[in-house]
Amino acid sequence: MIKRKDFYFKKAKKEGFLARSAYKLIELNGKYNLIRKNSDVLDIGCSPGGWVQVCLKLHARRVVGIDIEKAKIKDSRFEFVNEDVNEIDVAKLGKFDVVLSDISPKTKGFFDSEESADLSRKAWKIAVQVLKPKGNFLCKIFQGAEFDEFCRELRKYFYFFKISKPKASRKESREMYLIGKGFLGDTK
């Protein structure tokens, strides 16, 4: 991926955010009120920590971040779990009001939407196990062959479901964000 120093990149640096993606969460939370004061939040794929910073600014009680790369956050409300989403023992994490996932596959110039969908499904598998009843879920996924099926699957687990592309997403990007509010529990 080309690292352009666009408007949101410059804004993030100026305002002290670790990543331009912080503005995606700020916009989506502003529209959908996912993270409230005193929320317990799980951030899957949290590095470098832009979304964690947003959660902390929104006065989350606790933010747990999972990633294979260290997040650069120092705050007593933040706990970093240095593990792969494929290997994490979710039982030790506890329960959360909100589960976020902005995880992307490691790429070397070639992007695979199926690999992205696989990571989104793994994030969802974790969310089903740790979301509190009526909890909220926000997940990035790239449009591809599995997009519609994954959306249909998620929709049945939430009182409210929406697909959104924030303004901070690059226009040429195929990334979309799936928003689920009011987790109904594991319906299986």
pLDDT by position in tens, the chain (length 188) = 445 567 767 776 777 667 888 889 999 999 999 999 999 999 999 999 899 999 999 999 999 999 999 988 999 999 999 999 989 998 899 999 999 999 887 665 555 677 878 899 999 999 999 999 999 999 999 888 889 999 999 999 999 999 999 988 888 888 999 999 999 987 65
**Integer CA distances (angstroms), 122 to 7, 42, 79, 87, 118, in order:** 32, 14, 20, 10, 6
- Give the three-state DSSP class for 31: helix
The answer to whether 140 is a known catalytic residue is: yes
CB atoms within 10 A of CB 119: 22
Mean pLDDT, the chain, integer: 89
Give the active site residue among 3, 95, 132, 140: 140
**Residue spans per domain, the chain:** 7-133+141-183
The arrangement of secondary structure in 7-133+141-183, i.e. its CATH architecture, is 3-Layer(aba) Sandwich (3.40)
103 in Cβ contact with 118 (< 8 Å)? no
What digits encode the pLDDT tens for the residues 29-79?
Answer: 999 999 999 999 999 999 998 999 999 999 999 999 999 999 889 999 999
